[in-house]
């Protein structure tokens, strides 16, 4: 522990040469637990609604009533995307959506009523259920903060769920900061969701968003909060380290982006702080030299879609899978397709997978819990 503290202190110095011992330890920890296997999930992205009651300063996904995209996808649209994904070998349906828009906008409430639902979560559940039944894709639901009842509502129709913690900094709630006027970005609300997911035994994905105004100390505090919740409940299957990218149409358009070095030292810190069984992921479409992440402790590229664009960063296409494979191989890794739920959680299906989801997942899993049919890249 003392050694880790010393290495984390090294990372505070703005000198990559001072980080070498910490970097080598991060890679050693990754190799010892994950070997040379570097994973990704072949997915389709289903943006069920762009409506959201929050107003994050870095968000280009959210659309307000009056915008053509400020609506819910219809069931036919959802099923069409999922079926196309299935034909292209996808195994995961990533449902990504804004948080509880019906609590802010009467328009959202009326749209849900027209669809026959009282809440976004109820509609999400129905769409997840149909996607599993009609296409065999395994849903990963990402609807933001959730109560235990909402988590229990979604568990029988999903393989895993997720919510980025992003940061535990309360400073960023202030006017002019990234999370001003975002009731779902109050850190304690997000920490409670992580804990509730643990109590409900949901294989869970979370992560941090770097470069949105947080300090290095707050970043470390955020990683330690995730670690502590995982040590209590054992359900955090992966942590994403995502770098803020500026876009012209967001309030933070002029906010400086974190440098590649800053991303590198954060990946090292994450690998040192998190237990080794927590998968460490960084998105390959938000950095040109993404292969360098493999030299800083990651073992996963996250969801990559051959069909749908990244709706969170629409200007950043995912790399072709062939390139991902080449970059991974050049770093000594072996690219493997995984499912939305990680093998360690499939191996404890009695606890972590709802009985209704076991057969659909087992049908596409191979003996070691990764994807049974590894699609050609």
Q: How far is the CB of 60 from ligand SF4 (least distance, A)?
A: 8
Tokens of 357: 């989801």
92 counts as binding ligand SF4 under rule CB under 6 A: no
Helix (H, G, I), strand (E, B) or coil at 14: coil
98 counts as binding ligand SF4 under rule CB under 6 A: yes
**Cβ nearer to ligand SF4, comparing 135 with 308:** 308
Helix (H, G, I), strand (E, B) or coil at 275: coil
Cα separation of 165 and 167, whole Å?
6
Span 173-202, contacts to ligand SF4 by CB under 6 A:
182, 184
Q: How far is the CB of 144 from ligand SF4 (least distance, A)?
A: 6
95 counts as binding ligand SF4 under rule CB under 6 A: no
Among 61, 204, 293, 318, interactor with ligand SF4 by CB under 6 A: 61
Contact 370, 341 (CB under 8 A): no
Q: How far is the CB of 249 from ligand SF4 (least distance, A)?
A: 12
Q: Tokens 């292209």 correspond to what residue?
A: 88
Q: How far is the CB of 55 from ligand SF4 (least distance, A)?
A: 6
Cα separation of 267 and 372, whole Å?
30
Contact 235, 184 (CB under 8 A): no
Cα separation of 103 and 105, whole Å?
6
**Cβ nearer to ligand SF4, comparing 244 with 342:** 244
DSSP string, 280-295: EE--TTS-TTGGGGGG
Among 62, 151, 178, 304, interactor with ligand SF4 by CB under 6 A: 62
Cα separation of 131 and 365, whole Å?
18
56 counts as binding ligand SF4 under rule CB under 6 A: yes
**Cβ nearer to ligand SF4, comparing 16 with 314:** 314
Q: Which candidate, 20, 19, 111, 43, places its Cα nearest to that of 72?
A: 111
75-87 vs 120-135: helix crossing angle, rounded to 10: 40
**Cβ nearer to ligand SF4, comparing 11 with 52:** 52
Q: How far is the CB of 195 from ligand SF4 (least distance, A)?
A: 19
119 Cβ contact partners less than 8 Å away, ≥ 6 residues apart: 100, 102, 112
Q: With contacts defined by CB under 6 A, name the span among 57-65, 109-117, 269-277, 352-360 that binds ligand SF4.
A: 57-65
**Cβ nearer to ligand SF4, comparing 135 with 193:** 193
45 counts as binding ligand SF4 under rule CB under 6 A: no
Q: For binding to ligand SF4 (CB under 6 A), which residues are involved?
A: 52, 54-56, 59, 61-62, 98-99, 144, 182, 184
């Amino acid at each position: 522990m003392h050694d880790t503290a010393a290495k984390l202190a090294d990372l505070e110095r703005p000198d990559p040469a001072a980080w070498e011992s910490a970097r080598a330890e991060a890679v050693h920890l990754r190799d010892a637990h994950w070997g040379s296997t570097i994973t990704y999930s072949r997915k389709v992205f289903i943006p069920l609604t762009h409506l959201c009651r929050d107003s994050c300063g870095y968000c280009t996904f959210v659309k307000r009533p009056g915008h053509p995209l400020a609506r819910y996808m219809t069931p036919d649209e959802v099923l069409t995307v999922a079926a196309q994904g299935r034909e292209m070998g996808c195994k995961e349906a990533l449902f990504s959506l804004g948080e509880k828009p019906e609590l802010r906008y009467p328009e959202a409430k009326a749209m849900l009523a027209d669809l026959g639902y009282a809440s976004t979560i109820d509609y999400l559940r129905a769409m997840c259920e149909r996607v599993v039944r009609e296409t065999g894709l395994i849903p990963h639901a990402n609807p933001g903060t959730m109560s235990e009842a909402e988590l229990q509502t979604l568990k029988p129709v999903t393989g895993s769920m997720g919510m980025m913690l992003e940061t535990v900094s309360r400073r960023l709630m202030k006017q002019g900061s990234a999370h001003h006027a975002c009731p779902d970005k109050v850190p304690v609300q997000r920490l409670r969701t992580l804990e509730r997911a643990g109590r409900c035994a949901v294989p869970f994905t979370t992560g941090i968003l770097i470069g949105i105004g947080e300090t290095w100390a707050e970043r470390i505090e955020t990683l330690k909060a995730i670690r502590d919740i995982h040590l209590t409940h054992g359900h955090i299957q992966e942590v994403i380290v995502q770098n803020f990218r500026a876009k012209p149409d967001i309030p933070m358009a002029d906010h400086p982006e974190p440098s590649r070095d800053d991303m590198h030292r954060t990946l090292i810190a994450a690998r040192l702080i998190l237990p080794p069984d927590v998968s460490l992921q960084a998105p390959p479409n938000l950095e040109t030299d993404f292969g360098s992440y493999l030299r800083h402790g990651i073992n996963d590229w996250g969801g990559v879609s051959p069909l749908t664009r990244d709706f969170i960063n629409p200007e950043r296409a995912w790399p072709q899978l062939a390139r991902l494979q080449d970059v991974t191989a050049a770093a000594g890794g072996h690219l493997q397709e995984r499912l939305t739920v990680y093998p360690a959680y499939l191996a404890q299906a009695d606890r972590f997978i709802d009985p209704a989801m076991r057969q659909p997942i087992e049908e596409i899993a191979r003996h070691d819990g990764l994807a049974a049919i590894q699609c050609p890249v």
